[in-house]
Amino acid sequence: MINLIKVKEKQKEASENAASKPQIKEQSASELRVHRDINELTLPPICTINFPNGKDDLMNFEVSIKPDDGYYNEGTFPFTFQIPILYPHDAPKVKCKVKVYHPNIDLEGNVCLNILREDWKPVLNINAVIYGLIHLFTEPNYEDPLNYEAANELKDNPSLFEINVHRAMWGGYVHEENFDRVVD
């Protein structure tokens, strides 16, 4: 009987000690992978990463791209990244936060990038996605469009496309659609 009382006292003491210690949050496999991906990022100077919910929420962050070449030179294009619970088996959900006149980004900010869809593989990482986005700004692809009007214009009349990109980047209207100003 005495042993039973001592065991109960030790259990109570152990639970009180555990309650006074800060709880360590267990991380899911996807959170561990995202943490590794972010630690291994090699961002070029034209990119910045921001964690609007703080560094504790690695599953939601923003990346801004400021191309220094091409049609979109000097604009700043912020993207939200939402990492799904099944990452890296499922691709991140990426959206452009501003309305941009681009063949591969629709007016709602959806991005047409093959590695975010059918070509996604678990060996890819956030770095690959960011470089894919940069590539969309240096070499827009009219062959795989989300904005068909911009794609056709790029293919058939690149000089008019360039004029419309600049008009849109300054917050102007293109084809009766008002765009967000992305130039500082």
Report residue 25: phi and psi, to 5°: -75, 130
Tokens, residue 171: 């917050």
Annotation says 96 is catalytic: no
Residue 57: count other Cβ atoms within 10 Å of its Cβ. Answer: 12
Q: Would you call the peptide bond into 88 cis, given omega within 30 degrees of 0 as the criterion?
A: yes
105 to 54, 67, 84, 101, 109: CA distances (angstroms): 27, 15, 21, 7, 6
CA–CA gap between residue 155 and residue 143 (Å, rounded): 9
Kindly name the residue from 94, 112, 116, 130 that is annotated as catalytic. Answer: 112
Angle between the N-to-C axes of helices 29-39 and 126-138, in degrees from 0 to 180, rounded to the nearest 10: 50
Show which residues are catalytic.
112
